[in-house]
Structure 1
Amino acid sequence: MSEASNIRELKNVLEAALLTSHQPLSLDDMLRLFTERMERATLRMLLDELKQDWAERTMELVQVASGYRFQAREKYTTYLMRLHPEKQVKYSRAVMETLAIIAYRQPVTRGDIEEIRGVAVNPNVMRQLQERDWVDVVGQREVPGRPSLYATTKHFLNDFNLRSLDELPAMEVFVQPGA
């Protein structure tokens, strides 16, 4: 087999795996697809080529916190939503404010969140965030009472199309002048 056809076959295997996976695939997941040893640099090169191959198509290969996945380009989402017209979950302002505080200040305790928001945290808010798998307990603060420390999860990063917290918009974007 020529090198060009071998590369095409490797990309076909990656493409099939990524298109059929229900969750993002890590580099380690993808390396397991092949019996012969492959360098991570080679795999990344193949993924870059695959991304280019799909540059003018309806789907795009994106990297999120837990790996790579194919997803529909944004301009097609309104059409695709017509296939599944169920109402999108609306989150209260309290839920979104709490999530933002956790994302930008993590790890934080309920007390930290209450101090920033100026109001008590409703237990339902924390439950919603944990049920959605956007937030999890990552430890306890070493102070009397040992309150739980909350942080965002990889699922949060995946759902918001982020590879890491460094990709969050600058907090200044949200701060209103004179506030």
Structure 2
Amino acid sequence: MTGPSAAKKGRRKANAADKGAGGERLFDRELEALPPDLRWREWMLRVEAVIFAAAEPVTRETLSRVVGKACSIDLLIDDLREELAGRPYEIVPVAGGWQHRSRPAYADAIRASATPTRGGVPALSEFESMVLMAIGYFQPITRAELSKIFGKEVSRDTIGSLRDAALIASGPRSPTPGAPYTYVTTKYFLSTFGMETLRDLPDIEALEDAGLLSRQAVQEEAMAAVAEGEEE
């Protein structure tokens, strides 16, 4: 048999060979049929495609699903970053994974274009930004402790705005009287501000010197509240 019919039959046989017992197409992670250099190249392309398509930072566990068991994710990422060295975007480690980001040098051009972009920092008021910064440094922290830092009440509306922006979430209950909820930052917070972990936060001593935050004030407030609870 020759012609189109034979070609179709050949493709059907090939497709059948690529499927498991359940009829689902098997994904070839190992690529053992390829020579080492082409195999590595295909793994690089797969990893870049996954990171490019993802709406959030992609974890090591996720990337391991598309490459061979013996593949070093770190070396693969290093090769990808080197390959992108001349491009206006890069792959950066954020929030426990990796994400495509445009390089800071092109921020002005992107703003001037007025084009909608993925992600970006949510619109926050100056006070909301300060409260978010305090939560970042002192978490887990209660609303009362935040009010002590700023010398005025931090309203539920302020906390609600930060929660709605997915920048903070409820943490463990405080051991202070009434067991109020504490607040902590989220992975989205890390991703939004381009941080891999909370260790990437700016130096807190510099902020204290500028009079923006008082670590001592919040610590004294927490200790006083705990003492009150023990007396009761």
Work out whether the TM-score is over 0.5. Answer: yes
Match of residue 108, structure 1, among 138, 141, 160: 141
Shift of 1:5: 1.5
Q: Distance in 1 between matches of 2:210 and 2:127?
A: 21
Corresponding residue for residue 158 of structure 1: 191
Corresponding residue for residue 14 of structure 1: 47
Shift of 1:132: 0.8
Pairwise CA RMSD: 2.0
Q: Distance in 2 between matches of 1:169 and 1:64?
A: 15
Which has more radius of gyration? 2
Q: After TM superposition, where is structure 1 displaced by more than 6 Å over at least 4 residues in a row?
A: none
- Kept in 1, the 8 Å contact 2:122–2:165? The answer is no
TM-score w.r.t. structure 2 length? 0.70
Corresponding residue for residue 55 of structure 1: 85
What SS does the corresponding residue of 2:208 show, helix, strand or coil? coil
Letter in 2 for 1:161: G
Q: Distance in 1 between matches of 2:129 and 2:178?
A: 27
Letter in 2 for 1:38: A
1:47-99 superposed Cα distances (whole Å, 9 cap, x missing partner): 111111111111101000131011111122233332139xx854222211211
Q: How does 1:21-60 map to 2 (within 5 A)?
A: 21-34=54-67, 36-38=68-70, 42-60=72-90
Corresponding residue for residue 11 of structure 2: none
Q: Distance in 2 between matches of 1:98 and 1:177?
A: 16
Question: Equivalent pairs: percent with the same residue?
Answer: 26
CA shift in 2, pair 1:93/1:177, >3 Å: closer
Q: How many aligned positions are there? A: 174
Please, which moves more after superposition, 88-97 or 54-63? Answer: 88-97
CA shift in 2, pair 1:97/1:44, >3 Å: same
TM-score w.r.t. structure 1 length? 0.89
Shift of 1:178: 7.7
Q: Distance in 1 between matches of 2:211 and 2:159?
A: 30
CA shift in 2, pair 1:65/1:90, >3 Å: closer
Q: Distance in 1 between matches of 2:202 and 2:177?
A: 34
Q: Mind listing any 5+ residue stretches in structure 2 that lack a counterpart?
A: 1-33, 213-232
- Kept in 2, the 8 Å contact 1:31–1:38? The answer is no
1:85-130 superposed Cα distances (whole Å, 9 cap, x missing partner): 9xx8542222112111111111101111011111011111100110
- Kept in 1, the 8 Å contact 2:131–2:146? The answer is yes
Match of residue 96, structure 2, among 63, 66, 69: 66
CA shift in 2, pair 1:44/1:108, >3 Å: same
CA shift in 2, pair 1:134/1:83, >3 Å: same
